[in-house]
């Protein structure tokens, strides 16, 4: 029986990279796709970044694939006007997807594409586990005269469930990141993570770090990390910083997951890149590897997931380079290179 997937191509290069990824996905399994608008294209067509129809379809699907959302066309500081990112945030909240997983792996073929020295990044293989539905992004906010405020709130239950997700993802250790020397939410975070570790995961080494120190360590000693466990705001920043290690955001997949049985969202870490949209030169590899995350985490298709990841690695080893990696391969050529290695 075919797996039911809702596709949300989104804005900019989103439709291009998603289309490429579906071509690869169809080589390893049977899937049914149902396309809906999200983000800027939805604002243009319906006046909202996430329609009730799109939300309902996502809730009924087994999984959701997103290309990218956003762009200068819809940028605004007016709190009463819709923004593309609101659609994505609301979709995560409505699906109760509280854990964002961003694996970061430095590939030997791309060591020289990284802004960091080879000896610094060699062997980097980490994952940022970011809490996704709490904190500053979802707290009370507003303006009062010439002042503005954003409120960060976390409950014990919210920290417990993301802590468990982090420990389950660990291979060697967990580094819990906070700002406990300043923030009360971080003190609650650290206390709760410590308790969950002691009660349920004491066999896994646990370290703590303040976010400013961890940000520095990420670019000076990235191989020292396995799982970085942190809150919504810090996770957003640290995962984008970590994304520079392999040499391009075009190489980073992302998964947003909740409790078992809940449809997850799988998308590339990069943005919509409107400056190159429609030119056929976008790097599809992050989107392709996001489908591998979906196969692994949503459908328990580990063999197929590993086959896609191996095909990407082999294509890069053979010299595949899109423009963001210093080459000239088009989206179609990159996709073909992956397919050729997948079919060997």
Task: Clarify whether 96 is annotated catalytic.
Answer: no
Task: Clarify whether 324 is annotated catalytic.
Answer: no
Distance CA 339, CA 312 (A): 9
Catalytic annotation, pick one of 33, 59, 208, 240: 240
E-assigned strands of the chain? Answer: 3-10, 31-35, 63-68, 99-105, 125-131, 141-144, 147-150, 174-178, 206-210, 227-230, 253-257, 264-268
Q: Is the pLDDT of residue 113 over 90?
A: no
Is-same-fold flag (1-98+258-344; 103-250)? Answer: yes
Architecture of domain 103-250: 3-Layer(aba) Sandwich (3.40)
Catalytic annotation, pick one of 98, 178, 179, 231: 179
pLDDT in tens, 63-91: 999 999 999 999 887 777 899 999 998 99
The pLDDT, as a whole number, for residue 250 is 80
Catalytic annotation, pick one of 44, 112, 212, 275: 212
Catalytic annotation, pick one of 178, 226, 236, 324: 236
Catalytic annotation, pick one of 137, 178, 226, 324: 137
The pLDDT, as a whole number, for residue 6 is 98
Enumerate the domain spans of the chain. 1-98+258-344, 103-250
Q: What is the pTM of this model?
A: 0.90
pLDDT in tens, 317-331: 999 999 998 899 999
> What are the angstrom distances between the C-alpha of 215 and each of 171, 178, 209, 220, 319?
21, 11, 10, 9, 32
Task: Clarify whether 236 is annotated catalytic.
Answer: yes
Task: Clarify whether 111 is annotated catalytic.
Answer: no
Half-sphere exposure of 82 (CA within 13 A, CB side): 22
The pLDDT, as a whole number, for residue 115 is 87
The percentage of residues in the chain with a pLDDT greater than 70, rounded to a whole number, is 100
Question: What CATH number belongs to 1-98+258-344?
Answer: 3.40.718.10
pLDDT category of residue 305 using cuts at 50, 70 and 90: very high
Q: Is the pLDDT of residue 21 over 70?
A: yes
The pLDDT, as a whole number, for residue 18 is 98
The pLDDT, as a whole number, for residue 246 is 85
Task: Clarify whether 137 is annotated catalytic.
Answer: yes
Identify which of 10-19, 132-141, 234-243 has the greatest average pLDDT.
Answer: 10-19
């Amino acid at each position: 029986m075919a797996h039911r997937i809702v596709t949300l191509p989104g804005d900019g290069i989103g439709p291009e990279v998603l289309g490429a990824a579906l071509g690869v996905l169809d080589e390893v399994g049977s899937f049914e796709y149902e396309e809906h608008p999200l983000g800027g294209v939805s604002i243009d067509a319906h006046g909202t970044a996430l329609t009730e129809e799109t939300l309902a379809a996502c809730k009924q699907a087994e999984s959701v694939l997103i290309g990218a959302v956003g762009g200068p066309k819809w940028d605004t500081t007016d709190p009463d006007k819709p923004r593309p990112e609101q659609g994505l945030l609301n979709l995560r909240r409505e699906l109760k997807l509280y854990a964002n997983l961003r694996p970061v792996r430095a590939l030997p073929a791309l060591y020289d594409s990284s802004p960091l020295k080879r000896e610094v990044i060699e062997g980097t293989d980490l994952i940022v586990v970011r809490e996704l539905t709490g904190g500053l992004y979802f707290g009370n906010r507003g303006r009062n005269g010439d002042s503005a405020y954003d409120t960060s709130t976390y409950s014990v239950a919210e920290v417990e469930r993301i802590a468990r997700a982090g420990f389950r993802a660990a291979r060697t250790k967990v580094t819990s990141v906070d700002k406990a020397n300043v923030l009360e939410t971080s003190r609650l975070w650290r206390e709760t993570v410590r308790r969950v570790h002691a009660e349920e995961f004491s066999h896994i080494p646990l370290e703590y770090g303040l976010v400013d120190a961890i940000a520095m360590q990420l670019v000076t000693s990235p191989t020292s990390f396995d799982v970085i466990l942190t809150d919504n705001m810090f996770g957003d920043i640290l995962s984008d910083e970590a994304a520079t290690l392999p040499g391009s955001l075009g190489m980073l997949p992302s998964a947003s997951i909740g409790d078992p049985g809940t449809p997850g969202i799988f998308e590339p870490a990069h943005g919509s890149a409107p400056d190159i949209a429609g030119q056929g030169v976008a790097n599809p590899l992050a989107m392709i590897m996001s489908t591998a995350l979906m196969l692994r985490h949503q459908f328990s298709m580990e063999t197929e997931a590993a086959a896609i990841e191996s095909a990407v690695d082999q294509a890069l080893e053979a010299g595949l380079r899109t423009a963001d990696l210093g080459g000239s391969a088009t989206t179609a050529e990159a996709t073909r290179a992956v397919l050729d290695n997948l079919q060997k």
